[in-house]
Every structure is written in structure tokens, then in C-alpha cells.
């Protein structure tokens, strides 16, 4: 991968922003960039962040499998394992796991998005991404994602449960929820992505450097906000890749989760309407 990842942008040139900056919490414009810590220099092909919160014994096997898979690709890489305030002892399970390539980060519990952001902000890869630490999404898929990166150098590779080639044990209630949420995303943001929430993604470094400073979401809407802002800034080359998820989903969706996702989704929509980021020399790159 090294030397083959161009820094090109598709469409209108995105607005430049300082790497790693955070918006002012509660700011009415919410896309205001403040003093950035900056991203490290890219010296590796790939950074994979593994966020986790009380995942149990699945965490160690997930990390070990990810290391094995990535070594087989021939890419240079690091894995940043970020504890989102785990209390089940899973942090200690990583004490002796591949210290040459695994970086361990522990943070107070603040949400998956916060943990992912913390890992990405210290990543040294030319492509950076994340995979869930609970083993629901098999780390073997990382090899397929690396193949896509090598072949196409897209803005992002997104796992999609709704891809025709995906193999997912998915009850009808969850399928209906997923379909309905996707329709809402298309209506609000004009984002033509079939699944914004699958727990595996890789993003090219320049895309992430432009997007991270403008993000505020700390929960499960982190994925959506990242893609929506990238789309608004002129990045449209999103490749959806199939996933395999063998663990059976519950047949119902928690009312609390539904309410939080809808609340955060509309909050993203309101912030983007208020800020209306516009690439230089043109209209906003995305709808909504």
C-alpha cells in the first residue's frame, strides 16, 4: 500500500481545516474549528482502531485475529485498542498481545464515537478505520478492505449489511428498522449509502483530516456524521463492501437506542443546515 495512496480529492476541493481539531461543544454553529492537537505524520499503510466497552473474552481473540489477517496482507499497520471505560477486565486481557503493533488506550466511558475519535486522532496510517471489538464483525474482512484500498484508493471503504453479497443473520424487525433509517438518511442528507452503521470502515487520511475537526458526535451516530460531513466537503467515492455477521441479532430494537439515534441524526442535520459548509468556488457538495 505504501506509496500507492494518492492525496487526491474527487469533485470540488474540500475546505481545509486543521488536523484533529474539535468543534466547540454546544456552539450554535457546531462546525467551528478550535485549537487542534494535530494528527501524527503518516508512516504506516494502515491504522485500525478497535473501540470496546465490556466486550468480554471476545476482545483478545478479535485483536489477535486482526493482527494475523493484516500481517498476511503485507501492509505496514498498527492497531489502536481503545477502552471506552470498560470495567469487565478486558483491558488486562490485552497486556501481552502483540505489543509491537497494538497500542492500548484507556479512556473514561463517553460513547463509541468518542473512543473511535481518540484512536483515529493518534493514528499514523495512510488509511485509518475501525472495527468493533466484540467480534460481531469478523476481522478477516479487513483483508478484503485492504484489497479494495489497493485496487481503487477510494475516499472510504464502508462495510454494508445491506450489500447484496453480505451474509447477515438479520431478523425482519431489524431489517425494517435498517431500511427505514436508511430512507431517513437519504431524505435528510441525500447520502446514497445503503448502510452507514456497520462496524467496519477504512477512510483515506486526507478525508479524515478534513472531517474530524468538524465532528461532535460521541455516540453511535459518529459513523453517520463522518460520512455526511465528508460528502458535504466533496468526497463522494465511497465503496460499500459486503460483510459477514454470524451472531444473531435480537428481534427487537431498544426504544432508548431508537430515540437516541433519531435525536442524534436530527442534531447532525440541524448543525449542518446552520453551518452550511461550502467548498471553495462552488455550492455545498451534498444535499440536505
Domains and CATH numbers, the chain: 44-275 (3.90.550.10)
Structure pTM? 0.81
CA separation for the pair 118, 113 (Å, rounded): 9
Rounded to 5°, the CA angle 78-218-47 comes to 10
Contact 272, 228 (CB under 8 A): yes
Q: Dump the DSSP string for 235-250.
A: ---EEEEE-EE-SPPP
CA separation for the pair 40, 215 (Å, rounded): 19
Three cell numbers, residue 185: 438518511
**68 CB neighbour count, 10 Å cutoff:** 13
List per-residue pLDDT tens for the chain, 288 residues long.
544 333 333 333 333 333 333 333 332 233 333 334 467 889 999 999 999 999 999 999 999 999 999 999 999 999 999 999 999 999 999 999 999 999 999 999 999 999 999 999 999 999 999 999 988 899 999 999 999 999 999 999 999 998 999 998 877 777 788 889 989 999 999 999 999 999 999 999 999 999 999 999 998 899 999 999 999 999 999 999 999 987 655 444 577 888 899 999 999 999 988 876 445 434 444 443
Amino acid at each position: 500500500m505504501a506509496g500507492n495512496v494518492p492525496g487526491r480529492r474527487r469533485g470540488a476541493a474540500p475546505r481545509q481545516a486543521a488536523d484533529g481539531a474539535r468543534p466547540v461543544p454546544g456552539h450554535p454553529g457546531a462546525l467551528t474549528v478550535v485549537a487542534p492537537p494535530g494528527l501524527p505524520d503518516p508512516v504506516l499503510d494502515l491504522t485500525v482502531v478497535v473501540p470496546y466497552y465490556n466486550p468480554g473474552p471476545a476482545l483478545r481473540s478479535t485483536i489477535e485475529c486482526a493482527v494475523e489477517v493484516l500481517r498476511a496482507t503485507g501492509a505496514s499497520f498498527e492497531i489502536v485498542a481503545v477502552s471506552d471505560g470498560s470495567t469487565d477486565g478486558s483491558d488486562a486481557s490485552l497486556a501481552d498481545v502483540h505489543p509491537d503493533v497494538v497500542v492500548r488506550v484507556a479512556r473514561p466511558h463517553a460513547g463509541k464515537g468518542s473512543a473511535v475519535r481518540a484512536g483515529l486522532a493518534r493514528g499514523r496510517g495512510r488509511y485509518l478505520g475501525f472495527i468493533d471489538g466484540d467480534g460481531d464483525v469478523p476481522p478477516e474482512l479487513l483483508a478484503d478492505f485492504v484489497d479494495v484500498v489497493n485496487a481503487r484508493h477510494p475516499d472510504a471503504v464502508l462495510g454494508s449489511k445491506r450489500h447484496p453479497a453480505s451474509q447477515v443473520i438479520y431478523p425482519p424487525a431489524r431489517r425494517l428498522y435498517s431500511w427505514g433509517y436508511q430512507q431517513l438518511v437519504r431524505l435528510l442528507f441525500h447520502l446514497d449509502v445503503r448502510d452507514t452503521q456497520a462496524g467496519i470502515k477504512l477512510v483515506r487520511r486526507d478525508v479524515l483530516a478534513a472531517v474530524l475537526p468538524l465532528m461532535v458526535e460521541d455516540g453511535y451516530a459518529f459513523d453517520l456524521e463522518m460520512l455526511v460531513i465528508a460528502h458535504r466537503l466533496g468526497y463522494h467515492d465511497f465503496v460499500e463492501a459486503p460483510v459477514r455477521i454470524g451472531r444473531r441479532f435480537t428481534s427487537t430494537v431498544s426504544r432508548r437506542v431508537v430515540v437516541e439515534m433519531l435525536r442524534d441524526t436530527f442534531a447532525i442535520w440541524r448543525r449542518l443546515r446552520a453551518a452550511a459548509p461550502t467548498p471553495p468556488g462552488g455550492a455545498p457538495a451534498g444535499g440536505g
